[in-house]
A and B are shown apart, each in its own frame.
Chain A
Amino acid sequence: MQRKPMKLETQRKILGYFFLIPIVVLLVVFMFYPIAKSIVMSFTNWSGMSDDWKWIGFNNYIRIFTDMPEYWRAMKVNVIYAIIATAVQLTLGFIMAVMVINMKPRWQNFYKVALYLPVIIPAAAISVMWRYIYTPEYGLINQFLRAIGLDSLCRAWTADPDTALGAVIVTNTWRYAGFTMVLYYVAMLDIPKDVLESAQIDGANRWQLIRYFYLPLTRGTTEVNLILTITGCLRAFDIFYLLTAGGPGTSTKVVSMWIMETAFQSYKYGRALAMSIVLFLIVVLTMLLFRFILAPREKE
């Protein structure tokens, strides 16, 4: 009996699945397996130093929820940081995008690059630069304040618990506002020019264009920006570690720092994993919450 030749579509499907194998393997090895292993090991007393561990059930999780006030204090710092940083970053990013898109093309190119530049600078360089800016004796901010006669406002910006978190937020906004701006800018490019021109002919002013065109027509981007920024803030580590090291005291100590200390100083890797899983769940829930809040409006 003669074999039926394989359909072209079937061949294509096989080829498609074949091409998928490398990425599936990579995902399994470097993503799914570590996540699964982390979840499993969060139920153990693993020290992280050897293969010796034993099951301790939900002990790590019970400890987090009943006897780890510092974890929740740090979470509070994360949440405050996420709320303020997100609001500032989105507002600034949006305003900058509106300004850039209304510029002449050659200025648009210049500002797109200039405003995006901080995104690609390493966190270590950014923190060193901003530490100099914040230094009380010879920092830019205090020197400027002294120059304009506002000496009374001079502060040790990163060493004062009232201003340290604000200092981190400013640095973070400087770093990422360009990223938010680029996403908004790309979304604004999709708004048909003739619609905006018609509105202007009908007498719409700049504010009305923003209120009735730019804002509603970039809602999807707002959702993406919101989720990216909030989840980024909840997982924040590098800029805090490098700029304030969690201080002064515990005023800017974020959850990731506690996780690191638990794993690398107390050798409680299992507990650190449980702390990470709790943080992961909070980030996922926050993301789902925002999707839930914003999704129905998208359909309207």
Chain B
Amino acid sequence: MFKKIVALCMALVLVFAMTACAKTEAPAPSAPPADEPATDAPATDEPAADEPAADDPAQVAIPVPEEGASLHFLHIYPEHEGAINKTLDIIKRDNPGLEINVSVVPWNEATKSIQTASASGEMYDIFFMWSTQVPGYNNVGLLLDLTPYVDDEWKSWYISDAALEEYSVGDQILGMPLRGTAVFMIYNKTMFDENGWAVPTSQEELEALCDKILEKGIIPISAPGKPNGFQVESIRGRVFDNLVYINGLIEDPERLTDRKTEWNGLYAQSGEIVKGWYQKGYFGANAFGLEREEGQTLFMTESAAMLLCNNNELTALRELNAAANNFEFGSFSFPKPAASDRTMFTQAGFGDGWGAWSGTKYPQACAAFFRSFACKETMEIWANEELCIVPSAEVEYSDPVQGAFAAQYADGGYKVVPNYNSGNKGDLTGQAFVDYCLSDTMTADEFETTVEQITARAIADAEE
């Protein structure tokens, strides 16, 4: 009898514990209807002061509610802390009553932090996201629709329509671009001058140059390929883009939305070209074992003549070079094939950006935050103090290399922007390419088929 009573007590404790852990009844944030912004503000019969009025010209200023607003802001830029602080000061100056609590995580923890915060209901009001995450986040109702707040004046600040389109699904603007991310080539100008090497103007010239550099026992291009092929896959992407352009598919709607699953040999061709380069040693034997920093080291120690890097690495490279003061460097965009009449720069886009939570108490304050963030004064800080390529049409770059590079972003319209949650499709494609590069048995056609299957499955997954 006694044992039964004790067992019953223990069972009650277990049930109590289970109940304590069970889901609460608090409503989960959900996607707002397309025609109205999300808000968790108390519902009243009167329109709330914080409600936007799409047809009200006064919304241009986007006032912060009189009682003030407190936003929780998540970013991933400890290395740009100065710029973040200056930006927040400007935002607070322009929006009296706005309080901003800042959280910072490493870039590779951002998604997990957002996922955890969202699942727990303690979500950040404004958070970092990549443009590729927009469809996925939108699918799960995470993103505040900013369309009613973004007027024509605001839109005119951007370098091209494509900058906002990257953060849109259909007609809805669901996020804001911060800075551009694209690859370009930096070269050791001192080494080039000493050896009489000229900057290549075509893909064929680049190949000839790499052969010459190899003869000197130097790795021609430091292209870190870890993880998932990284910059080597990026080179394949550039070669592929040029092939796509030459074959007249650059404006194919299926391509632009990343839904094309029939490539008729273009993937195979691009893979074959870059695999050939890898096998010749253009990227060194260890390309697929190099991470970004290791790739930079290879270039900075003059073991490699060129470095394929992200434009956002420019600051770190300039600092490294200034400290070592060992050589001068220049830059050029990855060259087009001789058969093409223009250089395609379709990977250039504003991949780093911001989203606002659909369940925020202060949707209008979030919009005010974004508007101040996008203004010329703020963008100039990011462009000229942090050497970022910003989406602003009004900014003038003090660094000529960067300025020339930024000019190419005006062509961003050809960038592939998936209109579905493509998940880890990019990683899988990169892995397939590395498998192909390192395989003695896998053919280029098999590589293409694998990529087509990856795309088809990603689309099916997203629509499941």
Question: Which residues of A are at the interface with B, using a C-beta cutoff of 8 A?
Answer: 10, 13-14, 17, 20-21, 24-25, 28-29, 33, 45, 47-52, 67, 70, 134-137, 156-161, 244-251, 253, 261-268
A245 touching B18, Cβ below 8 Å: no
A-B contact pairs, 16 of them (CB 8 A): A13-B6, A14-B6, A17-B9, A25-B17, A29-B21, A50-B29, A136-B285, A161-B435, A244-B289, A247-B288, A248-B434, A248-B438, A249-B229, A249-B431, A249-B433, A267-B421
- Pick from A14, A24, A136: contact of B289, CB below 8 A: A136
Instruction: Tell me which residues across on chain B come within 8 A of A136, comparing CB atoms.
Output: 285-286, 289
Q: Mark interface residues in B7-38 (1 if CB within 8 Å of A CB, else 0).
A: 00110011001101101000011100000000
CB distance from A297 to the nearest CB of B (A): 37
Closest residue of chain A to B458 (Cβ to Cβ) is: A266
In this complex, the member of B289, B290, B428, B436 whose beta carbon has the largest number of chain A beta carbons within 10 angstroms is B289
Residues of chain B within 8 A of A14, CB atoms compared: 6
Specify the chain B residue showing the minimal Cβ separation from A48.
B115
Besides the contacts A135-B294, A247-B226, A261-B423, what 10 more A-B pairs have beta carbons closer than 8 Å?
A28-B13, A33-B17, A50-B30, A70-B428, A134-B289, A135-B286, A156-B286, A248-B434, A249-B229, A261-B427
A49 to B139, CA, bound (A): 10
Residue on B with the closest CB to A46?
A: B119
Cα A253 to Cα B137 with chains together (Å): 26
Report chain A residues within 8 Å CB of B29: 50
Partner of A249, one of B112, B136, B139, B435: B435
- Is the pair A247, B13 in contact by a Cβ cutoff of 8 Å? no
Q: Which residues of A contact B14 (CB under 8 A)?
A: 24, 28
Which residues of A have CB within 8 Å of B428? 70
Interface centre among A29, A51, A67, A161 (most CB of B within 10 A): A51
Q: Which residue from chain A places its CB closest to the CB of B137 in the assembled complex?
A: A49
| CA gap between A248 and B115 in the complex, in Å | 28
Does B111 have its Cβ within 8 Å of any Cβ on chain A? Answer: yes
Cβ 8 A contact of A50, one of B111, B119, B457:
B119
- Chain B hits for A268, CB < 8 A: 423, 461
B18 x A33 contact (CB < 8 A)? yes
Say whether chain A's binding surface is mostly helix, strand, loop, or mixed: loop
In the complex, B228 has a CB within 8 A of chain A: yes
Contacts of A158 in B (CB 8 A): 289
With A17-B10, A49-B137, A137-B303 in contact, do A159 and B286 touch (Cβ < 8 Å)?
Answer: yes
A52 and B115: CB pair below 8 A? Answer: no
Q: With A48-B119, A249-B431 in contact, is A159–B285 under 8 Å at CB?
A: yes
**Chain B: minimal CB distance from A128 (Å):** 11
A158 to B, closest residue via Cβ: B289
Interface size in chain B (residues, C-beta < 8 A): 56
- State the CA gap A10–B139 with chains docked (Å): 59
Taking CB atoms, residues of chain A closer than 8 Å to B421 are 266-267
CA distance A248 to B435 in the complex (A): 7
Chain B residues 327 to 382 lying within 8 A of chain A, measured CB to CB, are none
B435: chain A residues within 8 A (beta carbon): 161, 249-251
Structural contact, A247 and B228, CB atoms closer than 8 A: yes
- Pairs of residues from A and B, 10 with the lowest C-beta to C-beta distance, nearest first: A159-B289, A266-B423, A249-B435, A249-B434, A245-B227, A156-B286, A248-B288, A51-B28, A265-B424, A49-B140
B259-288 contact mask (Cβ, 8 Å, vs A): 1 or 0 = 000000000000000000000000001111
A158 CB to nearest chain B CB (Å): 5
**Chain B binding surface, main DSSP class:** helix
Contact A24 B10 (CB under 8 A): yes
Q: Which residues of B contact A244 (CB under 8 A)?
A: 226, 289
- From A67, A159, A250, name the one whose CB has the most chain B CB atoms within 10 angstroms: A159
Q: Check: B402 CB closer than 8 A to any chain A CB.
A: no
Counting CB contacts under 8 A, is B118 at the interface? yes
A247 touches B434 (CB 8 A): yes
Within the complex, the shortest CB–CB distance from B448 to chain A, in Å, comes to 16
How far in angstroms is the closest Cβ of chain B from A247? 6
A156-B286, A247-B227 known; A266+B142 contact, CB < 8 A:
no
Question: Which A residues are CB-close (under 8 A) to B10?
Answer: 17, 20-21, 24
A107 to chain B, nearest CB (A): 38
- Which residues on the B side are within 8 Å of A20 (C-beta)? 10
Contact in complex: A24, B140 (CB < 8 Å): no
Flag if B288 contacts A159 (CB, 8 Å): yes
- Complex Cα spacing A20 to B225, Å: 53
Complex interface: chain B residues within 8 A of A161 (CB): 435, 438-439
How far is it, in angstroms, between the C-alpha of A170 and the C-alpha of B449 when the chains are bound? 35
- B269-324 CB contacts (< 8 Å) to partner A: 285-290, 294, 298, 303
B184 CB, min distance to chain A CBs, angstroms: 24
A45's contact among B2, B229, B464, by CB below 8 Å, is which?
B464
Please, how many angstroms separate the alpha-carbon atoms of A35 and B106 in the complex? 29
Interface residue? B141 (CB, 8 A)? yes
- Contact A267–B285 (Cβ < 8 Å): no
Give which listed residue, B115, B226, B285, B431, contacts A250 with CB less than 8 A: B431
- A249 contacts which chain B residues (CB < 8 A)? 229, 288, 431-438
Note all chain B residues with C-beta closer than 8 A to A10. 2
> Within residues 92 to 134 of chain B, which ones have a CB less than 8 A from any CB in chain A?
111-112, 115, 118-119
In the complex, what's the smallest C-beta–C-beta distance from A185 to chain B, in angstroms?
36
B21 lies within 8 A of A33 (CB): yes
The answer for the CA separation of A81 and B294 in the assembled complex, in Å, is 27
A284 to B284, CA, bound (A): 43
Give the most central of A159, A248, A250, A251: most B CB within 10 Å.
A248
Cα A13 to Cα B2 in complex, Å, equals: 10
Complex Cα–Cα for A49 and B121 (A): 9
- Which residues does chain A contribute within 8 Å of B6, judged by CB atoms? 13-14, 17
Name A56's closest neighbour in chain B (CB-CB).
Answer: B464
Contact with B461, one of A17, A29, A33, A266 (Cβ below 8 angstroms) = A266
Taking CB atoms, residues of chain A closer than 8 Å to B118 are 49-50
Q: What's the least CB distance linking B15 to chain A, in Å?
A: 9
Most chain B C-beta atoms within 10 Å of own C-beta, residue among A28, A244, A267 = A267
A29 to B431, CA, bound (A): 39
State the CA gap A158–B141 with chains docked (Å).
41
Q: How far does the alpha carbon of A159 sit from the alpha carbon of B228 in the complex, in Å? A: 11
Which residue of chain B has the shortest Cβ distance to A271 in the bound complex? B461
Contact A50 B28 (CB under 8 A): yes
Which chain B residues border A245 with CB–CB below 8 Å?
226-228
Give Cα A29 to B17, complex, Å: 6
Report the minimum CB–CB distance from B208 to chain A (whole Å). Answer: 25
Q: How far is the CA of A264 from the CA of B437 in the complex (A)?
A: 27
In the complex, A134→B227 CA distance in Å? Answer: 16
A67 to B456 CA separation, bound complex (whole angstroms)? 13
Using known A-B contacts A29-B17, A265-B427, determine if residue A49 contacts B434 with beta carbons closer than 8 Å.
no
CA distance A263 to B136 in the complex (A): 12
Minimum CB–CB distance from A157 to chain B (whole Å) comes to: 8
